[in-house]
Amino acid sequence: MALTLDSITLPTDLLWSDEYIYTPVKQTVNMAVDGSLVIEAAAALAGRPITLQGGADYAWISKGTLELLRLKQAVPGLVMSLSLLGVTHSVIFAQPGIEARQVQDFSNPDSGDWYAVTLKFIEL
């Protein structure tokens, strides 16, 4: 199954690290003056974090792809289409939205050199 951000193809083995951490139920718990418990709950309409992680030995992207992602991150509030596990999500970059480190250190990497990345989004 393809993994894309708009027209940028991403490695299909990026790990969705917070897929099962999020819950759409938001809740506040307070104590009333009389000592009774007051619980308010509602469904979140947006705001789910989506974090995609690569590692030292999987899901690398080229510097060229990294530069395309950085161009998108530089546009404040840019709404993008993330196709992930067969579902399309409308997302923006969380900030900081991209963490990248070279797989092998070079002082002057070219566009084909590899990076392990973490991409952070917020679903709208």
Classify domain 3-123 at the CATH class level. Answer: mainly beta
pLDDT tens for each residue of 42-76: 999 999 999 999 998 999 999 999 999 999 999 99
How far is it, in rounded angstroms, from Cα 45 to Cα 123? 10
Question: Does residue 2 carry a pLDDT above 90?
Answer: no
Q: Cβ contacts of residue 39 below 8 Å, gap of 6+?
A: 27, 28, 29, 30
Q: pTM for the complete prediction?
A: 0.88
pLDDT tens for each residue of 104-121: 888 998 899 999 999 999
Q: Which residues pair with 45 in a beta bridge?
A: none
Q: Where in the chain are the domains?
A: 3-123
What pLDDT is attached to residue 47?
94
What letter represents residue 36's amino acid?
A: S
Q: Which long-range contacts (CB under 8 A, 24 or more apart) does 21-26 make?
A: 22/48, 22/49, 24/48
Please report, to the nearest 10 degrees, the dihedral formed by the alpha carbons of residues 95, 113, 63, 117 taken in order.
Answer: -20
Please report, to the nearest 10 degrees, the dihedral formed by the alpha carbons of residues 86, 101, 7, 45 taken in order.
Answer: 50
